């Protein structure tokens, strides 16, 4: 029997390395800011804000991959979806850890009270909880094991996007512009999916990976 070994796809490996580097850049900038002491008067608030922003941006970027694939007629966006989603979870977890460890500190148990009493924390925590099963089941093995149910489970990411935007809208005191931009991007991404779903002739299966 002749075993043929698949040649490594260097272009793909290079692109993936670049995507990892880009996804880690915000963290590197934060670490540099801490070391240089350039995060402003309240570094903990700056870290909380930056990690929250990147968690939400990456959730939305992950949601953009399927529409991008369709609009470009290229399969490559789907190949980055898992990486983007895992980094969204990574930044959301850093965000939560910053709040619990650096912000609450010795009063960390207060997180439970916050989850119950402060609606924007309740909503943020719900979004983070939903990201957990998505990250855990993001492998090919889980995709195979869950079959059709994998797609159903991963629709939770729509709710994560909506709760992330709501969390931001709720915590902002006066200037709503930034969270409204995120809300508009989310509405566009979900609107596109709905539009395509409604236009699909009855009985026709969605595109694979959608
Ligand atoms: C795990 C539970 C979470 C907790 C305890 C939490 C807590 C916080 C806190 C304390 C702030 C700053 C509030 C202020 O400045 O008054 C914040 C801001 C923010 N969070 Fe969260 N959050 C959580 C989950 C999430 C998730 C899952 C996302 C995204 C999907 C997210 C996105 C954001 C954004 C975008 C901001 C605003 C950043 C800015 O002002 O530029 N958070 N969060």
Q: How far is the CA of 152 from the centre of ligand 1 (A)?
A: 26
Ligand 1 binding pocket includes 48 (Cβ within 6 Å): yes
In this structure, the number of other CB atoms found within 10 A of the CB of residue 34 comes to 13
CA distance linking residue 27 with residue 17, whole number of Å: 16
Closest C-alpha to ligand 1, atom 34: 52
Note the pTM of the prediction, 2 decimals. Answer: 0.93
Buried b (16+ CB within 10 A) or exposed e, 73-97: eeeebbbbbbbbbbbbbbbbbbbbe
Give the model's pLDDT for residue 44.
97
Q: Please name the residues in contact with 12: beta carbons below 8 A apart, sequence gap of 6 or more.
A: 79
Give the model's pLDDT for residue 3.
61
pLDDT in tens, the chain (210 residues): 556 677 888 999 999 999 999 999 999 999 999 999 999 999 999 999 999 999 999 999 999 999 999 999 999 999 999 999 999 999 999 999 999 999 999 888 999 999 999 999 999 999 999 999 999 999 999 999 999 999 999 999 999 999 999 999 999 989 999 999 999 999 999 999 999 999 887 666 565 444
Q: How far is the CA of 141 from the centre of ligand 1 (A)?
A: 32
Ligand 1 binding pocket includes 123 (Cβ within 6 Å): no
Q: How far is the CA of 102 from the centre of ligand 1 (A)?
A: 14
């Amino acid at each position: 029997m002749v075993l043929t070994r698949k040649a490594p796809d260097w272009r793909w490996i290079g692109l993936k390395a670049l995507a990892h580097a880009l996804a880690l850049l915000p963290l590197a900038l934060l670490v540099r800011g801490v070391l240089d002491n350039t995060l402003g008067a309240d570094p903990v608030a700056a870290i909380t804000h930056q990690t929250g922003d990147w968690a939400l941006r990456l959730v939305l970027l992950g949601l953009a991959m399927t529409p991008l694939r369709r609009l470009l007629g290229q399969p490559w966006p789907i190949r980055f979806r898992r990486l983007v989603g895992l980094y969204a979870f990574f930044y959301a977890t850093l965000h939560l850890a910053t709040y619990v460890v650096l912000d609450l500190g010795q009063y960390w148990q207060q997180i439970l009270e916050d989850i119950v009493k402060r609606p924007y924390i309740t909503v943020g925590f719900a979004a983070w909880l939903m990201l957990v099963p998505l990250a855990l089941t993001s492998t090919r093995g889980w995709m195979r094991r869950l079959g059709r149910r994998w797609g159903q489970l991963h629709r939770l990411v729509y709710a994560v996007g909506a709760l992330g935007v709501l969390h931001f809208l709720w915590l902002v005191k006066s200037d709503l512009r930034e969270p409204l931009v995120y809300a508009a991007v989310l509405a566009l991404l979900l609107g596109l999916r709905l539009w395509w779903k409604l236009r699909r002739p009855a009985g026709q299966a969605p595109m694979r990976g959608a």
